[in-house]
Amino acid sequence: MQDYKFLKDINFPSDLRKLSENNLQDVADEVRKEMIEAVSKTGGHLGAGLGVVELTVALHYVFNTPNDKLIWDVGHQSYPHKILTGRKNKIKTLRQGNGLSGFTKRSESEYDPFGAAHSSTSISSAFGIAEANKLSNKLNNVIAVIGDGAISAGMAYEAMNNAGASKTKMIVILNDNDMSIAKPVGAMRTYLAKLLSGKIYFSLRETFKLVTSAFSKRFSAKAGKAEDFLRSAVTGGTMFNSMGFYYVGPIDGHDINVLLPILRNARDSKHEGPIMIHIKTQKGKGYSYAEKASDNYHGVSKFDVTTGKQIKSGTNLPTYTKVFANTLIKHAQKDSKIVGVTAAMPAGTGMDIFGKEFPKRMFDVGIAEQHAVTFSAGLATEGYKPYAAIYSTFLQRAYDQVVHDVAIQSLPVRFAIDRAGLVGADGSTHAGSFDITYLSTLPNFIVMAASDESELVKMINTSVDINDKPCAIRYPRGTGVGLELPSIDEKIEIGKGRIIQEGKQVCILSLGTRLEECKIASEELKNKGISTSIIDARFAKPLDKELIIRCARNHELMITIEEGSIGGFGSHVKNLLAENGIFDKGLKFRSMTLPDIFIEQDDPKKMYDIAGLNASQISKKILDILFSKDSIKVVKN
């Protein structure tokens, strides 16, 4: 850490509170500098944190954290918070193995009262904590910080609807920077813009007058109504007022002299019910390269602080995301019914590429996965071919809609499931661990897993013609293996796997991109005199029953490999074999899945080592089974 004038002596917020208010902007400047330096070494979420530095300093100065509970929505913006709450000496371990999480995490610090990595949960959790305090007769303040992108999600409205009807005090700070991961979309964006269109910020004098009157009970009812009318007329906060929130703002979120009195008044207010403070900030504030970037450096790799240049990997291999997008574009050029849908992740899913080619046929619905799925279902009822491109971890949020609005009605929504499997630095909250299990259990579903980029193209080609039921194609984060891509006319038969190689003793049945590791394991086994067959299953549902049963009958051992949780592909294969009496004939069977734990952030290879799904672990598992004297024919993994 650099030799900062103030930050060197600040280990916890209690140290911050010893300083004069006149020093707080200097503290903010040092926190911002330290954050830029740290993220340049680790990569991570930069722009969001830069935008809330002054707010973070002001919050910890005014409120008695950790007794007062401060909840950051998503956690992208929590890096300055971590610096001020006992973690500054570890800040350069962000998103590294055994380092600090890139999100808030209860097990990491008492200053993180609620873990957050998925958006729009802060108001719900804060209201729950506030109600718990009320039941326990505690007077702690509860503060939720939510962004303008996150507040567009349905869960935030559900929480506001519930909290607004209560008489429970809580404080919600709406951080409006007109930028989430991508540009915010929808009516909320327009509404917030209107709040800023006339008078962008209150002056300090106006703020004192407004906030003092807002939280005082000494004025008459008539005067209160007049003040409410004036506040709504000036700021346009009618919607939040109508939902039961006492709305104040918008105010300059980078002016500590404005933030402090407003936060103090909110803290000391006897107002019964929720308070909303609307602040306006700039994402990437204080770092010119972030301020100028189109995404304000939302998520960055390691970079040079002086030039702002990010250090990219040297590979020329295409990412699975780009292979998906470019293939879909080729089909869309021929088929006007193909449309793309994403939930606030156009760049992450490749839908930005599709949208540039077909701007009227790409729909970014905002941070609203539930809506994205049912919206896609509606499109499908009218003969369109929607491709809902959603990360595996985010699709979990819309499981009810997948079941009721898509599967039960057998609507041909095509799910492009990005970030399947383990994802490295984002850790357990963003791992695509469960989609094989939660989709394969549904009737009327086709579930495909690409083993490489060539297979991905074939699966997209095949999905275009699936018009009577839903289907999903899962593929990982990162680059392919370097194969030549097939034409868009090359398809695969539904429910049919492919034989990679044939052997006599062991059949390795692989689903997904662990196939390359299976090939390496096979070579290791060959050197030990073990003959193996390798099958690329392609489909978790429907299974290639004929191929699987034939291989099971012709081998001593069958082992399934998948980048998913217990209860997925291997479980379905085991059930198939049991129902056909295969185990009665002496087959040894095992499943290798992701273990029944949440695997923390690390280098992906190390994460797969922990999972036990790398080549040497596959070959060892097979050798242990073949040569174990106590081997039982059917054992759960």
Q: Which residues are catalytic?
A: 283, 369, 397
How far is it, in rounded angstroms, from Cα 432 to Cα 416? 13
Question: Cα dist. 152→71, 123, 126, 212, 214 in Å?
Answer: 18, 12, 17, 30, 26
Determine whether 400 is exposed, middle or buried from the number of CB atoms within 10 Å of its CB (0-12, 13-18, 19+).
exposed
Q: Are β-strands 588-592 and 506-511 bridged in parallel, bridged antiparallel, or unpaired?
A: unpaired
DSSP string, 200-230: -S--HHHHHHHHHHHT-S-S-HHHHHHHHHH
Alpha helices in 335-472 (DSSP H): 346-349, 351-357, 369-381, 392-395, 399-401, 435-440, 453-463
Distance in angstroms (rounded) separating the CA atoms of residues 113 and 106:
6
- Where b means 16+ CB within 10 Å and e means fewer, 211-234 reads bebbbeeeeeeeeeeebbeebbee
Residue type, 429: T
Q: Which residues are CB-contacts of 597 (< 8 A; sequence separation ≥ 6)? A: none
Please name the amino acid found at residue 45.
H
Any idea what DSSP says for residue 628?
Answer: -
What length does the chain have?
637
The neighbour count for residue 527, using CB atoms within 10 Å, is 9
Contacts of 344 (CB under 8 A, 6+ apart): 119, 149, 180, 181, 182, 185, 364, 365, 366, 367, 368
Do the Cβ atoms of 258 and 58 come closer than 8 Å? no
